[in-house]
Amino acid sequence: MRRLLFILVLMVFQQTSWSQDSAYLKQADSLTHHSPKRATRRSAILPGWGQAYNKQYWKIPLVYGVLAIPASTFIYNTDLYNKTKIAYQARFKESNGDKSELGLIDPSLQKLSLGSLQSYKNIFRRDRDYSIMWFILAWGLNVADATVSGNLKEFNVNHNLSMRIEPFSQPLLQQSGLSLQFHFNNTHSK
């Protein structure tokens, strides 16, 4: 964890120096160009950073809202897993004649049997593991959204694009099929 934090700090505070003016101009030109790779990397490092790079600020609360659901279920299930684990161990020791840990059992779990505690413990552990899986999946969707939005950021969506589908046949080769024709009009009609 410390290594990851150290690498993150180095990435944030890195300084780049240029030796020639032409290299500086190339670097400055690449900084103004939108890069889907940057959006992907930023979103993989910190959720929502890629969306901010793509200037889709309205998606940032959605990203954190989606990530908050599995995070909160993880906390909830971990808490209940630990409580049922302690209660299970105390009841197991009680079945062997040792009643010293009965005071550690949570009051809401006092009336449950050994088998019920074991069942609940397994259910909470499974749900905790599922919440980790859902958190990783939500983070991956965040990265995929930033990547797709970054690739479509400079996509040309104007009215000067058209496509026509026409059938064709070649009697000599005895073939028939469909042809796709794309037309790019540079004139603006108002």
- pLDDT at position 18: 43
* 38-54 residue pLDDT tens: 999 999 999 999 999 99
9 or 48, which is more confident? Answer: 48
Alpha-carbon distance 68 to 79, whole Å? 16
Residue of 24, 68, 60, 15 lying closest to 42 (CA atoms): 60
Structural domain boundaries in the chain = 61-138
User: Quick one: which H or E segment has residue 182?
Assistant: strand 175-184
Look at residue 14 and tell me whether its pLDDT is greater than 80: no
Convert the pLDDT of each residue in 85-108 to its tens digit. Answer: 999 999 999 888 888 888 888 888
